[in-house]
Structure 1
Amino acid sequence: MGRAVAEYPLGIESLMLWQDLKTRTGRDTGFRRSGIVYAAFPGARLADTDGLMTADDGRAEPSLAASALAEAARDAGAVNLNNCAVRGLETKAGRVSAVGTAQGVIRCDGAILAAGAWSRLFCANLGIDLPQVRVRSSVLRTAPAPGGPDMALGNGRFGIRPRADGGYTITRRGRVPVQLTCDLLLQSSRFARGLVRNRREIAVTVDGSRMQDLRTPRRWQTDRPGPFEQDRVLDPDPQRRTLARAWRDVVRVFPALSGVPVVESWGGIIDVAPDGVPVIDEAPGLPGLVIATGFSGHGFGLGPGAGQMAAEIATGAATLIDPAPFRIAPVRTTQAGRTTSWPVHVPANAVTPGAENFLYRATIPLNWTPVRSAV
């Protein structure tokens, strides 16, 4: 729910994979089939008495799931390199042959770029103009508290989900801050339609990211420290006024949460694609590199399916779903068979060495239409 139609098959597969991860990894990911509700809000296509509920949707705990997957990968023979920035790629006979890092060169037959909001910058050094912008987001969590919702819930003002520790994770919905940078202006033709269509849901903001964008090089030598060693983590300060408004709206809807302490807040950067649908595809003009990015805030839920499909593309295996909607191409199919134009510029010298959803009406409880669920 709350996703592009093109993501539905990947969401359904990911939901099933989430269900089995505890067994496969031998560790708790915090996954629960707890359901989610989208309430009606101004500007939505639903009437004031309408909402959407996915009774069999699920949620997991990022802090548990990330550690569980990393430890399971290590148990299977993977090597996790912490605090080690990637500088670039080396090629041989026109395809990826090695990854250059701050700790040395790693020889390989292929690589997967899953760098989130860093992906566009990394691709720029390869001569690949990947369409992507950065959206700033802020989140808070509360202490354990009784009396709140049992399901995750989203409306036009806030999103709230129960946590395994008994508290809640809360964020502001609507008027999402899009960072105004030179890079955004360079991509204005790609994102103009989306910005106009969603103008009531976004707010173009000017902050320190504009100066950081100007200071960040678009090209660098891979045998020297690069931008990913200068800024290792995209960790902006939380937008406290935005979170304060979200918290007031939550307490107004759920008075039982009044007085519950807010124990932590944090900020982050979301990688957003022009049509909101991620890229999971081999890089144009560079065999051996698979790009998985642009998840537009859906990456955690789609992670298991997206990770499996990226690995399948990298190894030449059959993919768990049709990869066509996730290809990076000048034109790709999206919702309901429509197409979206992506002017992806790849210069000639690109390869450089070195349970069900229910639509329900509060006034007529039996008037519902089941549709397929997604994470």
Structure 2
Amino acid sequence: MRSKRTIMLKGLVQVESDGDLPPETGVAIIGGGIVGVTAALFLAERGVPVCLFEKGEIAAEQSGRNWGWVRKMGRQSTDIGLAILAGEIWPTLAERSGEDLGFRVNGSLYPCDTEEEIEEQARWRREIGQPAGVESHLLDAARTAALLPGCKRPFKGALHTPSDGCAEPFQAAPGIALGARRAGARIYTNCAVRDLETAAGRISAVVTERGRVACDRVILATGAWSSLFLRHLGQRLPQLSLRASVCHLEGVAAPEICCSARDISFRMRQDGTCTFARRNRSTSELSPDHFRFFRDFLPTLRENREMVGLRASPGGFLRAWRDSRDWQAGEETVFERTRVLEAPGDPAILSQARDRLIEAFPVFAGMRVIQDWSGFIEGTPDAMPVIGPVPEHDGLLLATGFSGHGFGTGPAVGQLLTELAEGQTPSLDLEAFRFDRF
């Protein structure tokens, strides 16, 4: 989707770009989302020369458009370690960055409408949560209602994790980027990376639209753009973009807890406004990647056909085909033509969410819409991220494919990438996230 250079998110903290490019750096980071900025901060804290390059603005895509949850509850056994590590890092980031990131511990709640849902949450608690040391509680109907004042929907119970929390997407990644700069990192916005150079079989430089910067290592953390960039490098990574819609409201005094039932989700923001979404509903616009990765995603699309709506747009398909063509380092790329991947929220999905939200919580009837938007989530066939080295590209580290779960775990991934870039054994076993598992 082609976008204007202006950012449609009202309230996103802006990070000014540094000036001239240096001739060289230690680590070059491509992508100014939550993963890229935390890696920049952690590397700079260690005294490593680091430059971060963002084709648009910091957090202008999914890192600024997500729900803002920082949760352990509901994670898979594969990635719960990431969530636990991130839960340890988030409380340290305000002091380390010197910025208010909006982080707080307010708990997360999954209300259940049926006994089957309650059993599903009980199974998660028994098989994943408790073995990992996550303290979650199964609540009956009365205790669920006590946490949701004003709720008229007769939930049968809920799963509650008091130690979960949230942060503010409009503030978090930009604030961490500002902290990284204070620690010594250089931040370049509206500066797309077009290509990588190699010497003696190893990454030796990034080529940006503003010039070349020599480096020892590169971290690629470009979200929904990662598969395209890797294809330019001759690497195949199955990845599809899912469009998730969110609405930003004012004039609502909702419960402070992060709440997500089977069909609705809402969260109060630090400034007293609120975001809500239709849970388990997203769309995917038909593109050449759907044919390119058809076999990889067929089982997932079959299993989740009620959650993901596939839509066809001849104009959108042709645009995606044109934008996905390969390029030369000396010519303008799609990364410059599309500085920010943005779109308004899907009216049908948000209207349905609004009706269900008001039915459950009549207080939302008085809500006033500030803005709505879509975020583009980078999905993988197994809904798990790819973290670690890229085969045949010595010095290139990748972090992508978070499938809608990357904001909360982002600081943990930033730490792991920092450790890998420094040649250290990472704090967590990354075998399940290896690039070549597909």
Same fold by TM (over 0.5)? yes
Q: Secondary structure at the match of 2:78?
A: helix
Return 5+ residue gaps in structure 1 as ranges.
Answer: 331-341, 343-375
Aligned match for 1:54, one of 127, 139, 161 = 161
1:172 aligns with 2:278: yes
RMSD: 1.7
Instruction: Give the corresponding residue for 1:29.
Output: 101
1:151 aligns with 2:257: yes
Instruction: Give the corresponding residue for 2:128.
Output: none
1:78 aligns with 2:185: yes
Structure with more helix by fraction: 2
C-alpha distance in 2 between matches for 1:235 and 1:194: 25
1:7 aligns with 2:79: yes
C-alpha distance in 1 between matches for 2:197 and 2:330: 11
Describe how 1:301-316 pairs up with structure 2 within 5 A.
301-316=408-423
Give deviations 1:157-204, integer Å, cap 9, x for gaps.
121111001111111112321222121122111111111122222211
The 1:329–1:45 alpha-carbon spacing in structure 2 relative to 1, beyond 3 Å, is farther
Give deviations 1:105-138, integer Å, cap 9, x for gaps.
0100010000000000000100000111100111
Aligned match for 1:109, one of 216, 223, 237 = 216
Describe how 1:292-307 pairs up with structure 2 within 5 A.
292-307=399-414
Displacement of 1:279: 0.6
Question: Which one is further off, 260-269 or 212-221?
Answer: 212-221
1:196 aligns with 2:302: yes
Describe how 1:116-265 pairs up with structure 2 within 5 A.
116-146=223-253, 148-207=254-313, 209-265=316-372
The question of whether the paired residues in 2 share the 8 Å contact of 1:136 and 1:267 is answered with yes
Return 5+ residue gaps in structure 2 as ranges.
Answer: 1-72, 120-154
The 1:144–1:325 alpha-carbon spacing in structure 2 relative to 1, beyond 3 Å, is farther
C-alpha distance in 2 between matches for 1:287 and 1:236: 36
**Which residue identity lines up with residue 99 of structure 2 in the other structure?**
R
Instruction: Give the corresponding residue for 1:274.
Output: 381
The 1:193–1:100 alpha-carbon spacing in structure 2 relative to 1, beyond 3 Å, is same
C-alpha distance in 1 between matches for 2:300 and 2:416: 27
Identity %: 38
Runs of 4 or more, structure 1, over 4 Å off, are 41-45
Q: Secondary structure at the match of 2:173?
A: helix
Displacement of 1:211: 2.4
**Which residue identity lines up with residue 325 of structure 1 in the other structure?**
A
C-alpha distance in 2 between matches for 1:275 and 1:153: 25
Query: Please, what TM-score do these two structures have when normalized by structure 1?
Result: 0.84
Question: Which one is further off, 40-49 or 226-235?
Answer: 40-49
Query: Please, what TM-score do these two structures have when normalized by structure 2?
Result: 0.73
Instruction: Give the corresponding residue for 1:348.
Output: none
Q: Secondary structure at the match of 2:163?
A: coil
**Which residue identity lines up with residue 75 of structure 1 in the other structure?**
R
The question of whether the paired residues in 2 share the 8 Å contact of 1:42 and 1:156 is answered with no
Instruction: Give the corresponding residue for 2:148.
Output: none
The question of whether the paired residues in 2 share the 8 Å contact of 1:111 and 1:289 is answered with yes
The 1:161–1:4 alpha-carbon spacing in structure 2 relative to 1, beyond 3 Å, is same
Displacement of 1:139: 0.9
Q: How many residues align?
A: 330
Displacement of 1:44: 6.3
Give deviations 1:206-225, integer Å, cap 9, x for gaps.
24532221212332111221
Q: Secondary structure at the match of 2:85?
A: helix
C-alpha distance in 2 between matches for 1:276 and 1:268: 16
Displacement of 1:144: 4.3
Instruction: Give the corresponding residue for 1:359.
Output: none
The question of whether the paired residues in 2 share the 8 Å contact of 1:152 and 1:160 is answered with yes
C-alpha distance in 1 between matches for 2:159 and 2:360: 17
The question of whether the paired residues in 2 share the 8 Å contact of 1:17 and 1:304 is answered with yes
